[in-house]
A and B are shown apart, each in its own frame.
Chain A
């Protein structure tokens, strides 16, 4: 009997802990303080001090809701656009931009800070979606692997077809993974809609390994990560080498990996923010968008999200300067074209590569 009492107490205690922490959000709210809900994708991150500054200046509590990867988040928002889940959505990228604009989920906003953003990032001339950061999807390679075998590092997409690189590349499934999609788009940009499938056939002949998502590619297959996989080349982000230095277990002088930045081997991804239609907090939303384009947030981006700031005044951290390679001319495709043909491109790709 005593044991039953003990158990009941423990269960009750833990459950009430749970309930209490749930209620904490609802209590002690300043009557004048408003709430701004920002929907983002799962890779969103920000420093406490940076957001605290915004919250204090505007007397607002900002709620971030991480809603899945880019595609999932966007689709959720599209599905709920009649009863929006938040005020602002950050995270749509150029591969999904067209769909976001077609579905008319954003309200236009001509932020004054756009003047600090280079032209190449401002894809929407109506400023419904405003650029916040960008990143290049590139093939990362394992330096020591190539060094110990005296292997030359491939410089172009065509190089990857050479026999000495057979079975050494792992890519992600474009149907599921954003970097995977980006790499496929790079090949389409380079070889054209009619030529990319042949390229992939050849790549398949040359033993390319396809996995479903980035963590599988990077941590199961890539040889330079903790996973110590079989492939010394993996499609990842240009910023990953910097991350390997920052998040190394011991101090490193050199990054263990680097990116291949030959012609069209990288694809540029730009991420956007937009104010959701019919938000009751338009004024706050505008302030938040300005905040995102402003230097303090922009400089916070690299070490938190491992993307690069669009604001030309934002400085990069040292590790980024030292360890990442930024391509001069990354591959790009018009965003409307991406939206229109993406599904058929993926389907055709699957036919060739997966069957």
Chain B
């Protein structure tokens, strides 16, 4: 009879996730790389090879590093505010900071353009204030806009991961430190930061990898002058069919991802932080002193300008029309047209259907990534080579979605199951991207549960599975929900892999938006923006709904 010891169960759980990854990540990757290296010999003789690899590599790391730094600058105060203060509109701001994550780059480009473009509000304002003719701010198609867009996307990950850890941090050590004479900065530097290190590193790693494989932002917002590994892979694969070079670049991408993950993860694993997830939420209070109130207000103003304004300007774009005389009028035409199939086109997709598709994929991804992620976290708890495994598990995040998409195409289109229901591949692809995020959020939480709690339960007669459900899961419920939420959001906004795998009958909202944006005409542009606003609204509502329902006992 099979004896279900705790170790065996953990091992089995981890195994299931491993099998999933083997089938849907390693296999397609292997297929595409094999194809890539078929012509490898001849390829090696190409001159300037090193430069072709080195140049995009250097720039990729450079812009990702800068983006990460800026994200910390914006993210740390925001995480602090969210984990320490209770204020009106907190949910609103939290949602606003997270929403950018789901916006397809084309939409972000439109939003940024309306705000920061040559004819955007900011420039118009500056021109009026300084009485200048030409727009003073020319930031589109520069490195700055790339960095801004990255911060726009990244901040939410950082704030949620670090904010959650911070809110859960015991306050006693900080109090002890203050009694011992440490002022606020000293406490922050000597006590808080080291205790938060694990989650900060975790968040930064994810953010770095997102920026490292960033595609739409570089391509659309940055422009032709900027070449990253991902863009280069895209060019070589889809435009030039130079698979050997694309293969090499993909491998380089993977190696760098692995090295960086390995080195960051191994540092934080040594020692420390066995804290009990603090369920008392003792940190969160209303801002007390005048200084606190002012600083909080300043931060909220900044958050509003940076995160809410683009979305507002987007919304205005969707309901405002400028006629030939130059006057602006309110109109509901764009939304109206969205629901019409005026051309009776076969390929018309109503927003409802696109929405349904997006939501369905997102839900399936959420459940799949959630379950597999929990299993993987358990498997990790059981294993000895945690650092290595974690670094490996992050790899899908650092893999080009072009490479993966093509690999999927080559591997699975022959399989009959996927021929009949090809859209299953989409949530699978989304899960691959979401899984590293989920595991990275869950594992620190799981590993923080003191082992003796489980032992005590086992001593009292609980079977391993009972321990899992009655001890572990309630304690890490918050982390599970946060990571499930992220899987959901990631899926809603995913575009790269989806565009490879999608069928016209089951497009997601980002795909539909992209289609409208590739046609000229005010109505088409308007419909694209209107659809983007619908996507935003749906996402915001789902997030608020899920948070309220599932995290109801938390004030944060």
Do A and B contact each other directly (Cβ–Cβ < 8 Å)?
yes
- The interface of chain A, by Cβ under 8 A from chain B, is 3, 6-7, 11, 14-15, 17-18, 21-23, 25-26, 42-49, 51, 64-66, 68-69, 71-72, 75-76, 78-80, 83, 85, 99, 173, 175-176, 209-216, 218-220, 223, 225-230, 236-237, 240, 243-244, 246-250, 252, 256, 303-304, 306, 343, 350, 354
* Smallest CB separation, B478 vs chain A (Å): 15
Q: Judging by beta carbons under 8 Å apart, are A244 and B500 in contact?
A: no
Q: Name the B residues within 8 Å of A236 (CB-CB).
A: 520
Q: Judging by beta carbons under 8 Å apart, are A230 and B135 in contact?
A: yes
Q: Name the B residues within 8 Å of A71 (CB-CB).
A: 238-239
Q: Name the B residues within 8 Å of A240 (CB-CB).
A: 520
A78 to B239, CA, bound (A): 12
Look across to chain A and name the residue whose beta carbon is closest to the beta carbon of B237.
A75
| A-B CB pair tally, cutoff 8 Å | 198
Q: Which of B206-226 contact A (CB under 8 A)?
A: 219-220, 222-225
Partner of B238, one of A26, A64, A75, A250: A75
Binary per-residue interface labels of chain B (507-532) against chain A in the complex, 1 for a CB within 8 Å, 0 otherwise = 00000000101111111111000000
Partner of B363, one of A6, A15, A46, A215: A15
A176 to B239, CA, bound (A): 7
* CB of B356 within 8 Å of the partner chain: yes
Q: Name the B residues within 8 Å of A76 (CB-CB).
A: 406, 409
A264 to B66, CA, bound (A): 44
* CB of B175 within 8 Å of the partner chain: no
- Given the interface contacts A47-B343, A68-B500, A248-B523, does A212 sit within 8 Å of B219 by beta carbon? yes
Q: Judging by beta carbons under 8 Å apart, are B345 and A304 in contact?
A: yes
Q: Judging by beta carbons under 8 Å apart, are A244 and B521 in contact?
A: yes
Q: Name the A residues within 8 Å of B518 (CB-CB).
A: 42-43, 214-215
Partner of A228, one of B119, B238, B239, B413: B119
* Smallest CB separation, A42 vs chain B (Å): 7
**Candidate in A46, A48, A227, A229 with the most chain B CB atoms within 10 angstroms:** A227
Look across to chain B and name the residue whose beta carbon is closest to the beta carbon of A74.
B241
- Given the interface contacts A64-B346, A75-B238, A229-B119, does A215 sit within 8 Å of B517 by beta carbon? yes
Q: Judging by beta carbons under 8 Å apart, are A51 and B346 in contact?
A: yes
* CB of B265 within 8 Å of the partner chain: no
A45 to B520, CA, bound (A): 15
Q: Name the B residues within 8 Å of A17 (CB-CB).
A: 356, 360
Chain B: residues with Cβ within 8 Å of the partner, total of 74
Q: Name the B residues within 8 Å of A46 (CB-CB).
A: 345-347
Partner of A243, one of B140, B241, B520: B520
Q: Judging by beta carbons under 8 Å apart, are B140 and A47 in contact?
A: no
* CB of B552 within 8 Å of the partner chain: yes
Q: Could you write out 20 A-B pairs with CB less than 8 Å apart?
A: A6-B549, A11-B363, A18-B361, A21-B506, A22-B424, A46-B347, A47-B345, A76-B406, A76-B409, A175-B239, A210-B223, A212-B222, A214-B518, A218-B520, A223-B119, A225-B525, A226-B522, A243-B524, A247-B523, A249-B523
Q: Judging by beta carbons under 8 Å apart, are B409 and A14 in contact?
A: no
- Given the interface contacts A225-B520, A226-B317, does A26 sit within 8 Å of B224 by beta carbon? no
Q: Judging by beta carbons under 8 Å apart, are A18 and B521 in contact?
A: no
Look across to chain B and name the residue whose beta carbon is closest to the beta carbon of A79.
B410
* CB of B102 within 8 Å of the partner chain: no
**Candidate in A11, A69, A76 with the most chain B CB atoms within 10 angstroms:** A76
Q: Judging by beta carbons under 8 Å apart, are A175 and B410 in contact?
A: no
Q: Name the B residues within 8 Å of A42 (CB-CB).
A: 515, 518
A49 to B110, CA, bound (A): 34
A48 to B504, CA, bound (A): 14
A22 to B506, CA, bound (A): 9
Q: Name the B residues within 8 Å of A99 (CB-CB).
A: 241
Look across to chain B and name the residue whose beta carbon is closest to the beta carbon of A84.
B413
* Smallest CB separation, B419 vs chain A (Å): 10
Partner of A220, one of B117, B526, B552: B117
| Nearest 3 A/B pairs, CB to CB | A247-B521, A18-B360, A72-B238
Interface of B, helix, strand, loop or mixed by DSSP = helix
A42 to B513, CA, bound (A): 13
Q: Judging by beta carbons under 8 Å apart, are A211 and B223 in contact?
A: yes
A49 to B406, CA, bound (A): 33
Partner of A248, one of B341, B414, B522, B549: B522
A230 to B237, CA, bound (A): 33
Q: Name the A residues within 8 Å of B225 (CB-CB).
A: 210, 354
Q: Name the A residues within 8 Å of B259 (CB-CB).
A: none
Look across to chain A and name the residue whose beta carbon is closest to the beta carbon of B227.
A354
- Given the interface contacts A226-B522, A247-B522, does A176 sit within 8 Å of B219 by beta carbon? yes
Look across to chain A and name the residue whose beta carbon is closest to the beta carbon of B32.
A79
A99 to B503, CA, bound (A): 26
* Smallest CB separation, A338 vs chain B (Å): 14
Partner of A14, one of B239, B344, B360, B410: B360
Q: Judging by beta carbons under 8 Å apart, are B524 and A247 in contact?
A: yes
Q: Judging by beta carbons under 8 Å apart, are A47 and B346 in contact?
A: yes
Q: Judging by beta carbons under 8 Å apart, are B367 and A211 in contact?
A: no
Look across to chain A and name the residue whose beta carbon is closest to the beta carbon of B522.
A249
* Smallest CB separation, B552 vs chain A (Å): 7
A51 to B348, CA, bound (A): 13
Look across to chain B and name the residue whose beta carbon is closest to the beta carbon of A223.
B119
- Given the interface contacts A64-B347, A176-B224, does A220 sit within 8 Å of B239 by beta carbon? no
Binary per-residue interface labels of chain B (100-117) against chain A in the complex, 1 for a CB within 8 Å, 0 otherwise = 000000100110010001
Q: Which of B457-509 contact A (CB under 8 A)?
A: 499-500, 502-506
Look across to chain B and name the residue whose beta carbon is closest to the beta carbon of A52.
B346
* Smallest CB separation, A260 vs chain B (Å): 16
A78 to B515, CA, bound (A): 24
* CB of B333 within 8 Å of the partner chain: yes
* Smallest CB separation, B427 vs chain A (Å): 8
Look across to chain A and name the residue whose beta carbon is closest to the beta carbon of B500.
A68
A217 to B102, CA, bound (A): 23
* CB of B420 within 8 Å of the partner chain: yes
Binary per-residue interface labels of chain B (240-263) against chain A in the complex, 1 for a CB within 8 Å, 0 otherwise = 110000000000000000000000
Look across to chain A and name the residue whose beta carbon is closest to the beta carbon of B518.
A215
Q: Judging by beta carbons under 8 Å apart, are A66 and B224 in contact?
A: no
Q: Judging by beta carbons under 8 Å apart, are B106 and A26 in contact?
A: no
Q: Name the A residues within 8 Å of B424 (CB-CB).
A: 22
Partner of A7, one of B346, B523, B549: B549
Q: Judging by beta carbons under 8 Å apart, are A47 and B344 in contact?
A: yes
* CB of B331 within 8 Å of the partner chain: yes
Look across to chain A and name the residue whose beta carbon is closest to the beta carbon of B361.
A18
* CB of B321 within 8 Å of the partner chain: yes
A226 to B546, CA, bound (A): 36
Other 16 A-B pairs with CB < 8 A, given A14-B363, A66-B347, A215-B106 = A6-B549, A14-B359, A15-B360, A25-B421, A26-B420, A45-B347, A47-B344, A72-B238, A79-B35, A175-B239, A176-B235, A210-B225, A212-B220, A228-B117, A230-B135, A248-B521
* Smallest CB separation, B453 vs chain A (Å): 23
A129 to B225, CA, bound (A): 36
* CB of B364 within 8 Å of the partner chain: yes
A43 to B35, CA, bound (A): 28
* CB of B324 within 8 Å of the partner chain: yes
* Smallest CB separation, A230 vs chain B (Å): 4
A249 to B319, CA, bound (A): 11
Q: Judging by beta carbons under 8 Å apart, are B344 and A249 in contact?
A: no
A6 to B413, CA, bound (A): 37
Q: Name the B residues within 8 Å of A72 (CB-CB).
A: 238-239
Q: Name the B residues within 8 Å of A248 (CB-CB).
A: 521-523
Q: Judging by beta carbons under 8 Å apart, are B220 and A66 in contact?
A: no
